[in-house]
C-alpha cells in the first residue's frame, strides 16, 4: 500500500504537470479544496479574530515638499515600530498602477496554452510563472499563482500581456518612489538623504512578483501566502480592492495590562495607496532600528485578488559579493547588533527560517 507521503507526492506532480495552477482549479469550479492545500489549524486565521484598535499608518509623501521633517518623523516611527505603512501622494500615476494590475490579471486569465511556455521551476530564468515556488518542499501548498520578473529582462522573456506595463511600472517605482522612500529612511537614521541609495546600493536591483489569488471554495482550510518576512531592502506592494494582507504586530493589551501580545492586523486596501514594508536587509543595515515584520495573505471566498510586489534587492549576479553591514549611527544604538553578511547569505537564512516555521506548524 502506498504511503500518505507517496500519494501526496503524486498529487503534487499531477497538479504541477497541468501548468494551469490554482487558476485551473478555480476554472474547473472545484467545490472542495484538494488536500495538498490544507494547512494546519494553528497556522490559520482564528475563527474569532482578536479585537484591537491598531491601524497601519497612511503617510502622504507629497507633504514632504513643505513639511519634510514631519514626514521623516512619520516614516521613522512606522519603520521602527511596525515596519509597514501605506503611502499616498507617492507620484506613481494612477494610470500606471491600473495598467499594471490589468496586465497581471490579463496574463493569469489567459488560456493555459498561452501561459504554459512561461511555466517553469528553473530559477535561472529571469521570468518565471508557477504556482508555489516551494511546491515540492513545503508541507502545504498555497492558494496562489505567481508571475515573477527579475528586471531588466529581454522583452521576449516577458509575457505579451505584461511586456509594456511591467517595465514602465517598475521604472516609476524604482526611480521615483524608491528614491523618495530611501531618502526619507536615510534621514530617519540621521544620515543624508542619498546615503542608503548611493552608499549601499538599495536601488540597484528590482524584481516584480505578480500574484493571483482566485476565490477559494474553502478559505478556512488554507492560506494565500503563509507567514514570512521579505529578504530584500524594501518592498512596495500594489494591491487591488479585495484585501487579505495581514501583518503580525505586538500590541499592548487594551484591557490595561502591560504585556504585549502578537496580533494579526489587516492592511486594508486604501484607494490610490501603495503598501511599503521594511525587508530583512534593511533591518540588518539599520542595526535593528527598522523592523522587518512577518506578514501573510489569507484566502478569500471572493476574488480573484491581484497584487504586484516590487522587491528592492541586489541583482543576482552581485548577491554573493554585496555586503549587508549594520550602520551604527550613535553611541545610543547600544553597539553593533548584527554581523556583516552578504545578500546571498541573508536570503539563504531567510528560506531556512521560513521552512522551519512551516515545519513547526506541522509539529515535525
Burial letters 259-272, b for 16+ CB under 10 A, else e: eeeebbbebebeee
Question: What element of type H or E holds 25?
Answer: helix 21-27
CB contact at 8 A, 358 and 336:
no
DSSP-based three-state secondary structure for 354: helix
E strand spans, the chain:
58-60, 84-88, 127-130, 145-151, 205-213, 223-228, 234-239, 245-252, 260-266, 274-278, 295-298, 305-313, 323-324, 341-342
Domains of the chain (ranges, CATH numbers):
4-361 (2.60.120.330)
Rounded Cα–Cα distance for residues 15 and 28 (Å): 13
Please report, rounded to a whole number, the percentage of residues in the chain having pLDDT higher than 90. 76
Residues 17-32: tens digit of each pLDDT? 999 999 999 999 999 9
CB contact at 8 A, 294 and 229:
yes
Residues 48-88: tens digit of each pLDDT? 777 788 999 999 999 998 999 999 999 999 999 999 999 99
DSSP per residue, 118-154:
GB---TTSSEEEES-TTTTTSSS--S-EEEEEEES--
C-alpha cell at 154: 529581454
pTM of the entire predicted model:
0.92
Amino acid at each position: 500500500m502506498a504511503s500518505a507521503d507517496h500519494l501526496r507526492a503524486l498529487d503534487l506532480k499531477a497538479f504541477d504537470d497541468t501548468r494551469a495552477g490554482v487558476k485551473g482549479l478555480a476554472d474547473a469550479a472545484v467545490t472542495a479544496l484538494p488536500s495538498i492545500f490544507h494547512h494546519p489549524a494553528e497556522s490559520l486565521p482564528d475563527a474569532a479574530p482578536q479585537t484591537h484598535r491598531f491601524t497601519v499608518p497612511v503617510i502622504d509623501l507629497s507633504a514632504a515638499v513643505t513639511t519634510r521633517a514631519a514626514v521623516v518623523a512619520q516614516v521613522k516611527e512606522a519603520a521602527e515600530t511596525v515596519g509597514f505603512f501605506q503611502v499616498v501622494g507617492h507620484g506613481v500615476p494612477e494610470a500606471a498602477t491600473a495598467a499594471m494590475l490589468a496586465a497581471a490579471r490579463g496574463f493569469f486569465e489567459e488560456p493555459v496554452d498561452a501561459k504554459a511556455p512561461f511555466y517553469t521551476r528553473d530559477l535561472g530564468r529571469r521570468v518565471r510563472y508557477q504556482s508555489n515556488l516551494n511546491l515540492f518542499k513545503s508541507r502545504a501548498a498555497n492558494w496562489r499563482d505567481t508571475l515573477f520578473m527579475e528586471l531588466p529582462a529581454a522583452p521576449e522573456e516577458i509575457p505579451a500581456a505584461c511586456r509594456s506595463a511591467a517595465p514602465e511600472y517598475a521604472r516609476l517605482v524604482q526611480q521615483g518612489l524608491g528614491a523618495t522612500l530611501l531618502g526619507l529612511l536615510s534621514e530617519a537614521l540621521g544620515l543624508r538623504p542619498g546615503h542608503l541609495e548611493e552608499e549601499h546600493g538599495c536601488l540597484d536591483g528590482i524584481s516584480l512578483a505578480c500574484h493571483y489569488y482566485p476565490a477559494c471554495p474553502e478559505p478556512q482550510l488554507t492560506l494565500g501566502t503563509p507567514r514570512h518576512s521579505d529578504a530584500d531592502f524594501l518592498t512596495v506592494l500594489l494591491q487591488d480592492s479585495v484585501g487579505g494582507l495581514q501583518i503580525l504586530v505586538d500590541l499592548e493589551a487594551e484591557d490595561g495590562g502591560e504585556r504585549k501580545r502578537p496580533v494579526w492586523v489587516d492592511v486594508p486596501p486604501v484607494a490610490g495607496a501603495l503598501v511599503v514594508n521594511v525587508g530583512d536587509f534593511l533591518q540588518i543595515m539599520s542595526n535593528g532600528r527598522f523592523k522587518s515584520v512577518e506578514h501573510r495573505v489569507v484566502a478569500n471566498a471572493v476574488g480573484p485578488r491581484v497584487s504586484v510586489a516590487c522587491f528592492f534587492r541586489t541583482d543576482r549576479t552581485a548577491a554573493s559579493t554585496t555586503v549587508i553591514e549594520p550602520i551604527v549611527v550613535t553611541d545610543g544604538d547600544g553597539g553593533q547588533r548584527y554581523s556583516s553578511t552578504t545578500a546571498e547569505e541573508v536570503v539563504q537564512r531567510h528560506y531556512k527560517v521560513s521552512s522551519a516555521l512551516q515545519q513547526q506548524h506541522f509539529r515535525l
